[in-house]
Amino acid sequence: MSIGFAINLVRGGVLQALMMAAPLLLVGMLVGLIISIFQATTSIQEQTLTFVPKIAAILGALILFGPWIVMSMVQFTLRLFGRIPGLGG
């Protein structure tokens, strides 16, 4: 296995992980921003107000994007397994 192949493999894995995490992170960030604006305008500084909506929103996003995340991971794994025969040298 060459260095270039290994770098491509690691780069593909990192990119896949970022693509799978991005929808959940973006939903969490958006909900956190909306709650922060709400807290700043109403002067309510309750800490539990930030966690419960974020958890609910991320759970909803996981339900919505879950099938896509799983299918994306399966396709990535199949591509990796498809490359195994070419590694023998």
Task: Name the one residue in this structure whose structure tokens are 């909506």.
Answer: 53
pTM over 0.85: no
Cβ distance 28 to 5 under 8 Å? Answer: no
Cβ distance 53 to 35 under 8 Å? Answer: yes
Spatial separation of the C-alpha atoms in residues 84 and 22, rounded to whole Å: 28
| Residue 1 in this model has a pLDDT that exceeds 80 | no
pLDDT in tens, 40-86: 898 888 877 888 999 999 999 999 999 999 999 999 999 999 988 87
Q: Where are the domains of the chain?
A: 3-84
Task: Name the one residue in this structure whose structure tokens are 């992170």.
Answer: 25
Q: Residue 34: its pLDDT value, please?
A: 94
